[in-house]
Structure 1
């Protein structure tokens, strides 16, 4: 009997009317979000949110569509993740190659193999330039932070 009361209108003027659905507007000013047919037609109820009065079938349809949207979003996110993962793995391989190359250059320096050092001078210059640029970026970020 109590469940029957929950699905009948709580408005005294039409308390035996069956609830048709709910208002889905967050800003709804009415005390109760459920509505019966009379509440839906009453010009004093849900004055600013008539378009947000949704019957149970519409709510079910919305939930189904939103669930499909979440599925598509998850699929898209998984594809993006896979793409980023591939790029990450490629970048890690390049970094590993560079580390090996730098270890070799270090060994050439230790052995004073200046021909090999000269042959690898471009790599040394690129690393040096990158390092200087990183230091400059850090300095600029610190200056920007201090100005704020």
Structure 2
């Protein structure tokens, strides 16, 4: 019998975390909307960051007047194959579903960047890590400074 951790049900994430299927408009049920555009992820990279053993949390307040919470997930190919990366993202979605409604920052983009430990860390411990990380952001104890890029600046 497969012993999967909480958040690994293999069932698709509930639809409240995405755009509505019929209109493509954001779901306004209070649940966070999933970030899809690269520009949103790059923008969040300029915000506050808190590292944990299983993930790095990036939080960036948006300039618009919307109080809608948005969330994004990313796991690089260095972590593992597609099966591993997708399992980590499923765990993140389940964790965010539980935690972000009560501890998330309204009007902010939240991005979770997966680390190796996200596969093996206990689900309850990861949830506690996310709560602590969000508290650090709220208290202003998160890191905002980014090292300047090494070498020549890239041309775009």
What range is the shorter-chain TM-score in? under 0.3
Given the two structures, how large is their TM-score scaled by the length of structure 2? 0.22
Answer 1 or 2: which has greater helix percent: 1
Given the two structures, how large is their TM-score scaled by the length of structure 1? 0.23
Answer 1 or 2: which has greater strand percent: 2
Higher RCO (C-alpha under 8 Å, 6+ residues apart): 2
Larger gyration radius, structure 1 or structure 2: 1
